[in-house]
Amino acid sequence: MSEQADVIVVGGGSTGCGVVRDLARRGLDTVLVEKGNLTHGTTGRMHGLLHSGGRYAVSDRKSARECIEENLILRDIAGHCVEETGGMFVKRPEDSEEYFQEKLEGCRACDIPVEVIDGEEARRREPYLARDVEKALVVPDGAVDPFRLCVANAADAREHGARIETHAEVTDVLIEDGQVVGVEVEHDTGPGKRVHREPGTTEEIRARYVVNATGAWAGQLGEMAGVDVEVRPSKGVMTVMNVRQVDTVINRCRPKGDADIVVPHETACILGTTDEEVEDPEDYPEEEWEVDLMIETLAELVPALKDARTLRSFWGVRPLYEPPGTGTDDPTDITRDYFLLDHDERDDLPGMTSIVGGKLTTYRMMAESISDHVCEKLDHEAECDTADVPLPGSEDFSVLREYMDEFGLRSPVGRRSAQRLGSKTDDVLKSVSPNPVVCECEGVTRAEVRHAIGEAGSDLNAVRLRTRASMGNCQGGFCTHRIAAELTQEYPEPVVRDAEDELYQERWKGQRHALWGRQLSQAMLNHLLHATTMNRDGDPAGLNASVDFAAFDAGPDTADDPTGGDAGADSGTAAADGGRPRAEGGVDGDR
């Protein structure tokens, strides 16, 4: 099967979703292809910081100015994706006063609103800060939900005629007469996914232009086209704590380094991060020392982290790009700016441009830049309006925030539903009656789950990304079966079972790096609920083969784990031994 389009965008992260929205709104027939769910790559594996620019105010003022400009735009157009937490750069006694002053001067030079407060005032605002914090810079950092943001961009693109194809992996770049003319994709419906085509179906999608927005994977797509895109992937770990120890983004006020930020996000805090170059964005070690480093170092800023329950850890890969002639052995020295690589001008291969580097905060600016470039290549005259037109869900969000009582949203669940759904709140919450809470940890109701199923089909991980169901304290132990039950009216039992197993396994992957203390108890309780009470580890029908329940009994050697799970051998041993001696006791009292 073959289809002709104006533009194909490869990659369903923030940049790709931003590009497909921009081009579709300009009237171009655009197709986005992504090998997994939206946010499958780097975008779905970041700490959710909406940069104020303060982080770059000393080392990269160009990036700092771009960040504060886009920060303000996203608050306007994507209000239902942004939490206005504010941020602090805090100084401890051993941190440089000279650097603190440079940061202050840099923020002012980049027009970033900044305030200096003493340690007492910083602790008044955030009581769990360390007693020896001397002072802080207050900046307009925020938290952004990357899943919600990408889905909203893709939804707007689809409303303007774009085709969004997830679970569609590019297997070849089509070149004819020395020019890129499209891509070949293989569709994978897999267990638990809405079936558009038979699994393994191959399709040629032809277009006048191809945009490579695959981030850390840009080199792999470039190789299919016979060109070099020398991205330097750099991995970083994020560790998720079970509650919000702080309600403000807390940055360490010092030059570049590991473990220097805490981002409050929804019901949790995310600790980050490391910066270590890897060869393959798909295959790299996920090591226990990285998790230890996050907790031990950031506990210097927020001591309560020492005794908090760690829910899970996950790793992401940054798509760093180093222009020729600027070589460095340290990935933290590589600019976070973005670059457009026109393969016609650079490699004598017309029909394709790659966009590399950049940050989620500046995704819309990056998308506007490459859309301008594509329109010029196609001789298509149309202006960008993405900085002015709200995303779906944010059209009336400022009004919604001001008049939440008008919507009957006095309860915490109602308020959180409104944050997720934005201007769609009233329509969605009134679409199902009765409308009980399905996921208590995140306050997700049946109406939200059914609304997400209507958009994502039986792919419950896509439902999770749209609603946050199963992403809270119990990590799906108390709600995956309830979420799956909402599929039973439309899908046969084998599909429902596979969908539940796939969701549960995704929740289990990140917990394998956090099995000590109370989280070990929580994980075992989840195992007993699903494996014993529901007989999921002894199902005679053999329908649960995708779930690695045996991981709880991995023993001393996990190197030959046939599941190819997330943890290394040392993680399996840590789990068997009970891990590091943090807080003792059983499952948290709220469970």
DSSP class of 113: -
* Burial of 367 from C-beta contacts in 10 A (0-12 / 13-18 / 19+): buried
DSSP class of 385: -
Pick from 114, 175, 161: nearest CA to 141: 114
pLDDT level of residue 591 (50, 70, 90 thresholds)? very low
Segment of 287-296, 403-412, 539-548, 574-583 carrying the highest mean pLDDT: 287-296
Task: Report the half-sphere exposure of 121 (CA within 13 A, side-chain side).
Answer: 9
Tokens describing residue 8: 């194909």
pLDDT level of residue 332 (50, 70, 90 thresholds)? low
Pick from 289, 388, 329: nearest CA to 21: 388
Name which residue leads in pLDDT, 523 or 22.
22
pLDDT level of residue 562 (50, 70, 90 thresholds)? very low
pLDDT at site 589: 29
DSSP class of 422: G
pLDDT, tens digit, for every residue of 213-239?
999 999 999 999 999 998 888 999 999
* Burial of 379 from C-beta contacts in 10 A (0-12 / 13-18 / 19+): exposed
The answer to whether 315 and 45 are in contact (CB under 8 A) is yes
pLDDT, tens digit, for every residue of 430-458?
899 999 999 999 999 999 999 999 988 99
Query: CA 83, CA 105: separation in Å to the nearest integer?
Result: 26
Tokens describing residue 443: 């306050």
Return the exposure string of 258-295: e unless at least 16 CB atoms fall within 10 Å of the residue's CB, then b.
Answer: bbbbbbbbbbbbbbbbbbbbbeebeebebbbebbebbb
Is the peptide bond between 436 and the residue preceding it cis, with omega within 30 degrees of 0?
no
pLDDT at site 378: 97
Kindly report the backbone phi and psi dihedral angles of residue 293, in degrees, each rounded to the nearest multiple of 5, phi listed first: -60, -40
Pick from 175, 176, 179, 181: nearest CA to 205: 181
pLDDT at site 198: 61
| Mean per-residue pLDDT, 329-340 | 68
Name which residue leads in pLDDT, 576 or 195.
195
pLDDT level of residue 566 (50, 70, 90 thresholds)? very low
pLDDT at site 197: 53
Query: What type of residue is 222?
Result: G
Query: CA 173, CA 353: separation in Å to the nearest integer?
Result: 13
Query: CA 18, CA 213: separation in Å to the nearest integer?
Result: 10
Pick from 167, 140, 162, 229: nearest CA to 19: 162
| Mean per-residue pLDDT, 100-126 | 98
pLDDT at site 6: 98
pLDDT at site 377: 97
DSSP letter string, 129-190: S-TT--EEEEE--EEE-HHHHHHHHHHHHHHTT-EEE-SEEEEEEEEETTEEEEEEEEE---
- Residues forming a β-bridge with 143: 49, 83
DSSP letter string, 174-220: EEETTEEEEEEEEE---TTS--SS-TT-EEEEEEEEEEE--GGGHHH
DSSP letter string, 37-70: STTTTGGGGS--EE--SGGGTTT-HHHHHHHHHH
Domains along the chain with CATH numbers:
2-43+147-230+336-377 (3.50.50.60), 82-142+232-321 (3.30.9.10), 431-577 (no CATH)
pLDDT, tens digit, for every residue of 366-423?
999 999 999 999 999 999 999 999 999 888 765 555 544 444 444 555 667 777 888 8
Tokens describing residue 209: 């232009």
* Burial of 143 from C-beta contacts in 10 A (0-12 / 13-18 / 19+): buried
- Is the pLDDT at 577 greater than 90? The verdict is no
pLDDT at site 523: 86
Percent of the chain at pLDDT above 70? 83
pLDDT level of residue 542 (50, 70, 90 thresholds)? very low
Q: What is the mean pLDDT of the chain?
A: 85
Is the peptide bond between 273 and the residue preceding it cis, with omega within 30 degrees of 0?
yes
Q: What is the dihedral of CA 387, 392, 396, 402, to 10 degrees?
A: -100
| Mean per-residue pLDDT, 179-200 | 72
| Mean per-residue pLDDT, 21-34 | 98
Pick from 479, 474, 493: nearest CA to 192: 493
pLDDT at site 550: 52
DSSP class of 309: P
- Is the pLDDT at 311 greater than 60? The verdict is yes
| Mean per-residue pLDDT, 51-80 | 95
- Is the pLDDT at 427 greater than 90? The verdict is no
